[in-house]
Structure 1
Amino acid sequence: TDLDGDYNNDELSYLVSPEFDLTALVDPVIKFSQIRDLENGDDGVQFQVSIDSGYTYSVLGSSSSTNWYNSSSVSALSSLGNGNGWTGTTTGWSSVQHTLSSYASDTSVFFRLVMAADGNTVDEGFGFDDLIIGESNDVAVTALWYPDSLCGLSATSVTASICNISVEAKTGFDVDIDTNGVTVSTTYSDTLDVCGCDTIELVSINTSAGGTWTLEVEVDNSGDVNASNDTLSGLMTMFGTPGVALLSQSGNLCEGQVDTLTFLFQGVGPWNLSYSNGTNPQYIANITSNPFQTLVSQTGVYSPVAVTDASGCPADTSGITGVAAITFFPAPIVDLGPDSSVCEGYTLNGGSGFASYQWSTGETSQSIVATQTNVFSVTVTDTIGCTGFDVADLNVFPAPIIQLSDTILCEGSSFLFNAGGGAASYIWHDGSTGQVFQIDSIGTVSVTVTSFFGCEGTETASITAVVPNPTPSISSTSSLAPVTLDAGNGYLAYLWNTNESTQTIDVAIAGTYTCTVTDLNGCQGSSDKKAKIWPNAIDKLDWSNEIIIFPNPVDQLLTVEFQSEIRGNYDVFILDGAGRVTKKFINRTGQLQTLQVSDIASGNYLIRVQSDELKLEQPFIIIH
């Protein structure tokens, strides 16, 4: 055959295999892939077998064989005595196979492919690949793997190697293992390729207690043709392994105390134990007591790390159990500060976050106030029950006493807040530094006073309102002397310009009288009232608005001013309450007169201006 082109006319070619010994197979099968381009019906390829070292060959199978030849009458092959073979053209590779069961006992088997063509048409020819001779259906267990004469484990793995000796890939078969009468079945769900092998875990056995296990493994492959390679057996002996359990416990203790760890062993002693608190490992050898106790005084999460028994076998990780979280809390830190001199009101603080406080004063709060010289101590207890203690010797100086209080302000006045004397310094809210602070409107003041001991006191006060001053309404009557003037009730104090301090006064001299009252708020206000009196020696009293006299009351000089023009000369007389002329000023002229009255005794008087054309009178008061 021309490998680079078409085959020849009248082609007759052979391809011979090496020698095969099929005695190891129970139901041998040959399988390969083929592709062809042959003149259909005329040219063909045939598979032949020889069991006499190639001396004679016979045709393998026929067109009636399953998945084998596609024709029984290929012309070029028929001329050789048997027309069975492959002819025609395929579009790609296809798989063909045929049983070799007739040759299962033969030790020397040869195969050959025969190609025959007539002399008409030539094509590409015949190709084959992936030829395999194997069992029709056989999965074998080839090895059983397990430890032996070792220290036991909580999970000892038993595995097996399986191989596919079939000409087809295999999946879905079971592999069973019997361990001391207990069978575990594993379904192989992967695909075991042709001629492929795999190792699978069959069972995991807890051998930590030690013992002997009889192992028997079997492949359960439906239709398997070779039972001889389906089973293997073994005997596994393992030594028992120790175990240790830290009995579960957790504790919160105080610094300086100790706690006890209790370990419970399994296996045969004496034991060697390693344990840790997460930071510092500890090792104890040749332990004969079970359970075993040891004391600890460090904070940590304690757990056993490793243990070995008398045979030297270590514990498997699953045989090491137990955790103990133990915390040694430090004593609470209490700091009341150094022994010192402090100011009254100094606060001693035992610190926050503790469950209880016990002071030497009997108080149980977190903080206390030092009001006098003493030795103070406190014992605090935290939530764990740990205690702490501190003491402070304090010399306590008194704090400044400041007496400020809220008040109101009278309209038009101011108020002087006084922080008290005898202090080293004063600081008011606006930065001023005097003992007193003056305010004339609604507002709040505050002052910090520092004593000569360096102790401070702070006080705050307010002007809460500005209230109007009172205006008394003075009532009076015009009559013969005396006349009663009444400033009205409801006031806290009264002061007349006569120096009287009652609500009412009686006057015998006509004139203007002034009363200053003080209300319940302490505010003062004044009003004037003219007293019209008919003295005994004066027939008629007609107060004129034509003249103004001032000041009234007067001490030295009395000024008389006429409201309208006055012509000519006139005389001015000063009369006492009895109508007697006390002093006179003759032949006066002009609109304004200044009269000297310092030589007249204090009292109520009447000034009279008189000429041929007029007579004007006004009362007034002289006070020296």
Structure 2
Amino acid sequence: QSNFCGSGATNIVLNNTENFIEYQLRNDVDNSNIGAPVTGNASTINLPTGTINETTTFNISANNPATGCSLELSDLFTITINDLPTATLSGDATICEGETADLTFNFTGSSPWNVNYTDGTNSYNFTTFDNPYTLTISDAGTYALTAISDANCTGTDISGTASVVVNDLPEVFLGNDTTITTNDTLILDAGEGFSSYLWNDNTTEQTLTVNGTDLGQGNYDFSVEVEDVNTCSNSDTINVSVESGSSVNEIGTENISVYPNPTKSIFFIKGLNTENINQISIYNANGKIIQELKPNSENQEINLQHAASGIYFIRITNRNGTLYFKILKQD
């Protein structure tokens, strides 16, 4: 064997040796002797190299003890010692859902490198000629190396981890597309608790007042972008159609209220005129209806016990129009 990883020991095999001739293995750099001479036997002998830790070229001298004459054989023998590859990993990052982070792998050794790593749950593998190598990821996890090999050897020196945290995007919902009249004012609410708000008219408050009189008849899009404490942002858009006529929010009472708000499970809608109300709908921040009912009491009870915590919207409709409320469900 002429190639080793890290270190190695082997025999230089010499054929057709002569009887009584002493053969000495030497380091070709300075002709220093390696081990003791081996006497020829008219056949094959082995000259041990001993343990070597770096690439070494050997020569062989032949000495006749009877005459004291010696000569250096023409053949040279090279034993190659390849360094064991190493790998390090870095790239701690905190990102928002939909963003990416870069993990950096640094190597020693000879390309290509074959790398095994884990995200703390699953195992992965790649091969690269690049050093350093950048891997772009989007999933959260604690990334760590598990194995490294290069073109020649398998290494054991692997180090470093990268913790990647992926924060959820903030949830913002302006409600379903709706219709008002030129007599109406609609307040769009992006929700509380965000670090910043930016509406499409460049205002920066939590709410935006839509005035049907100022807009006139037509269809209008209103959008808002919110940012949370993790600097993650999200946006939503609502279409408001403005029609001429009496207010679509005239639903037979001016005294409707929702309480308690926030609620842990049960809340009440107070002040309903049950003869005029066609339907009450409860839907979540994604616009999915989770309850629909026709009220049977002026103080209608609604139970959100089995609903997840978050913001919900209440839509009350009759033949004259629609009214919206927002309620917060807490654990």
TM-score, normalization: structure 2?
0.43
Structure with more contact order per residue of length (Cα contacts < 8 Å, sep ≥ 6): 2
Larger Rg over CA atoms:
1
